[in-house]
Amino acid sequence: MKIKDRMSSGNIKTVQLESSLTDAFRIMKESHIRRLPVMDDTKLVGIVTLSDLHQASPSSATALSVHELNYLLAKIKIKDIVPKKQKLLTVSSEDFIETAARIMRQHTVGGLPVVDEGKLVGIITETDIFDAFIDILGFKKPHSRIDVYIVDRPGALGDLIGIISCKGISLLNTIAYYDRSRGMYKAILRVEALAYEPIVEEIKNKGYEVDSAMATSGEDN
């Protein structure tokens, strides 16, 4: 799945370098968002978050009146609070969502501007990525999950898929990862059947170790 399939596009909310904190707060509140790309005319130059705005605002313990606070907020410009050495992290709409997930995790950020040929075309957030992974893994459909330990040899995963195919059951998805505690690979099979017992029995008969199995009605909405 590519970023273009999950990013928010269309009416992208942004602020200019000359915009005030008041403007930024208003846009975030009205649009229910926590970050805004910062533009210098039509060029993307940075990003500010709700946390950045709060840090730049006068302390709540101040003795200033509401009128004075609003005046100060209107005087502070976005250009004054964008970190001078901010590394502008972006992705392309043609990148895969795991690329965005890796960058977000590596740099501890919750969203990334999507830029194609120097033009801002969208935003992808951690929520977009979570939703994408949920769809990819098929959590919303009724299914059974079967966890099986497999040896690191060519064809092992294919054997398991073949067992399920021979039962005439559709495989929703499968992933495998290395379980360091066991020193083995574990395959997670999600099958479109709630009666998983016959599949588990056949897998065990083929010499595989089944770690766990369970059925779920899903959340198909």
In a domain, 146, yes or no: yes
| Three-state DSSP class for residue 47 | strand
Final residue of a structural domain among 83, 109, 133: 133
Domain that holds residue 76: 3-133
Domain count of the chain?
2
CA dihedral 70, 72, 77, 81 (to 10 degrees): -110
- Single pTM value for the model: 0.73
Give domain status of residue 109, yes or no. Answer: yes
* Whether residues 42 and 17 fall in one domain: yes
Q: What is the pLDDT of residues 105-161, one digit of tens each?
A: 999 999 999 999 999 999 999 999 999 988 877 677 788 999 999 987 888 889 899
Give me the CATH number covering residue 179: 3.30.70.260
Q: Residue 185 region, left (φ>0) first, then alpha (ψ -120 to 50), else beta?
A: beta
CATH value at residue 113: 3.10.580.10
Instruction: Examine residue 221 and state whether it is found in any structural domain, yes or no.
Output: no
pLDDT digits (tens, 9 = 90+) for 170-194: 888 888 888 988 889 999 999 988 8
- Cα–Cα distance between 45 and 79 in angstroms, integer? 10
Confidence of residue 221 (pLDDT cuts 50, 70, 90): very low
Q: Distances from the Cα of 142 to the Cαs of 30, 133, 146, 172, 174, in angstroms?
A: 37, 16, 14, 10, 15
CA pair distance 146, 194, nearest whole angstrom: 11
Q: Are residues 151 and 58 in the same domain?
A: no
